[in-house]
Amino acid sequence: MQAVKALYKEGKIQLLTPLQGVTEAELLVIVLDKNEQTTSMVNTDYLVEPSSEQNFKSLGLSSFFETDEDHQIDWEEAFDVQAR
């Protein structure tokens, strides 16, 4: 999965970022109407200090990912994700 930026104008979509290594794909598009955007919608980034509980959970998860056990699990099958 890749995220790319594009412009839509007069019925045409122009990619501003090239797709890397993709010859065929299904695209899911999120449309942000330039005329209806507000500054409160655009500026939603803020810093949240993690709690000790969040840090503890992160440590537990990070010890699992990128291990042999992680690579042996078929996550699509585990979460019953259907191929498109």
For the chain, the structural domain boundaries read 48-76
Q: Kindly tell me if the per-residue pLDDT of 80 is higher than 60.
A: yes
pLDDT computed for residue 34 by the predictor: 75
pLDDT computed for residue 58 by the predictor: 75
Report whether 4 contacts 19 (CB < 8 A): yes
Name which of 58, 12, 5, 56 is nearest 29 in CA terms.
5
pLDDT computed for residue 45 by the predictor: 62
Q: Kindly tell me if the per-residue pLDDT of 84 is higher than 70.
A: no
C-alpha–C-alpha distance, residues 1 and 27, integer Å: 10
C-alpha–C-alpha distance, residues 36 and 38, integer Å: 6
pLDDT tens-place string over residues 24-76: 888 888 888 777 665 555 555 667 777 887 777 777 776 667 677 777 888 77
Sequence-distant (≥ 6) Cβ neighbours of residue 15 within 8 angstroms:
4, 5, 6
